[in-house]
Amino acid sequence: MRYSEQFMEHIEYAFNAFCKVVLRHEAINAWRDLKRKAEREISLDYLMSERYFELYAMDIYFEKRDKPTVFLVFGKEVIVDDERLATALSRLPQLRREVLLLYYFIGYRDEAIGRLYRRCRSTINSRRNVALKQLRKEWERLKHEEQKIDTF
């Protein structure tokens, strides 16, 4: 079916009008986003000229304790700075402690840990969950002991 020249011209004008409306609304959205961003952000030059502050932050490791606790897992050292966490981890059986350290501190996934222990992923997952429950109990026990010492 062939369209008349007049109808084709009408389609072009309608499409042109549609495109102009879409572009106008996108421009409005862009200006609105820029305004919102300008309201929330402050220039670094302005901050530097107004008041002095340090442009960096330093992480302070091992400040609370003189010597952090180091666990050795498959030849990798895991440093635990928190004394209560290190004590709670040391009270766990070795296998459970190693699974937790490999997963949470070294970043291994269940499949990789399973390959190390020659177990399937689901077994490692269940062992990790059991170890977490036991760690939570040890953590609460240590917390209770510390509170008991503080009251005397």
Question: Sign of the C-alpha dihedral, residues 60, 58, 139, 127?
Answer: negative
Domain residue ranges in the chain: 5-50, 69-151
Alpha helix (H) residue ranges in 41-80: 44-50
Kindly report, residue by residue over 19-78, the tens digit of the pLDDT. Answer: 999 999 999 999 999 999 988 887 777 766 766 666 667 776 655 555 788 888 888 888
Exposure string for 20-56, b = 16+ CB within 10 A, e = fewer:
eeeeeeeeeeeeeeeeeeeeeeeeeeeeeeeeeeeee
According to DSSP, residue 4 is labeled P
Global pTM? 0.55
Residue-level pLDDT at 69? 85
Is the domain 69-151 a CATH 1.10.1660.10 member?
no
Kindly report, residue by residue over 81-119, the tens digit of the pLDDT. Answer: 888 888 999 999 999 999 999 999 998 999 999 999 999
- Name the more confident of 42 and 127: 127
Residue-level pLDDT at 39? 87
